[in-house]
Amino acid sequence: MTKEPADTAVKNNIVIPEDYEFAYPPSEMVLESGKKLGPINIRYETYGRLNKDKSNAILIVHAFSGDAHAAGYHSEDDKSPGWWDNMIGPGKAFDTSKYYIICSNVIGGCQGSTGPASINPETGKPYGLSFPVVTISDMVKAQYRLVFEHLRLPFLYAVAGGSMGGMQALEWSVAYPDFVKSALILASTARITAQGIAFDAVGRNAIVSDPRWQNGDYYGKKIPARGLSIARMVGHITYLSDESMGMKFGRRLQTRQKYGYDFTDEFEVESYLHHQGDKFVERFDANSYLYITKAMDYFDLGAKYGSLPQAFSRAKAKYLVVSFSSDWLYPPYQSKEMVFAMIKSGRDVSYIELNSPYGHDSFLLETTRQKKIIKSFLESVNV
């Protein structure tokens, strides 16, 4: 069943998530691995109004731990809005008085879209590790089905995302060049380095080493909370910077006035990381952590198409690439590599490196400066 989008499903800043299910057997979606997956459900949200000629749609693609809930609230009791609420809305960077914004949860995730915690129709039980490995390309392929089969949009005015969202935006621009007018790549990379893969591997090993993981078959039982919490702690460190951690915590002790000479958590930064790990366990699935980090590790746009210039020679989109000075997970030199390849391929690209102390998380925090850059870029796109 297709949908004719009109007004957003938002009232008084309360947004209603929606679902699109497709790829029913025997027409399952063929994954990059060659395996098939279906049926597939995509959870998504929309904000703003689609114009008459359907030319103002922007797809927001989320980072690793994000989801479809990019802006607004799900209920009046929600304590926090969507993960990019400070960037999406009337007058904001992605201005909903001008643009129709879509955000969906990736396949392999755990926030409404089909993933390892979903029920396998063949067994009536959660997939667990029987869920096929998915890639960034597979995630984008599923989004394509949502945007063009269900929402019936002729093209996307823009695709935008930070971190893993930037990887998806890159894939969109190269895999579906006739449907993407512009792409915004924030704090991202065309391929994860050995260091990035190493951090992902540590997180996955923390999860699978938890006795409660039980080879991925823990649904309905005690979850591998300890392993998942440690994985999040390790990952969260990579999102920060030495400067931001120094400003926020320094070497301050949490409660004591002097060292206790034991192995309890004494420093503020230790308590902070445990808090982040505990919060993450409440909302994320351990198996999804394995699948999504693996998808990021596999992402290598240049290798897929022969080289980065060859990859971008397929594209027709206008690009905005933004990096941040203190981002050591995907440092500025990786953005510059993309930009040089885009220029070599004759692409129209704008690049800016913002000085920021906040590390990789800068794309979530540096909203004021990004707003000016993004609004200006979007206004320059021709459709």
- Annotated catalytic residues are 163, 327, 360
- Ordered alpha helix ranges (H), 159-300: 164-175, 194-208, 225-239, 242-248, 268-283, 286-298
The angle that helices 136-144 and 164-175 make with each other, rounded to 10 degrees, is 60
| CA dist 89 → 46, 101, 143, 218 (Å) | 11, 9, 22, 39
Largest CA distance in the chain: 68
Report the distance separating Cα 292 and Cα 135, nearest Å: 8
Report the distance separating Cα 302 and Cα 297, nearest Å: 14
Residues 6+ apart with CB under 8 A from 289: 203, 204, 207, 228, 231
Q: How many other C-beta atoms can be found within 10 angstroms of the C-beta atom of residue 216? A: 19
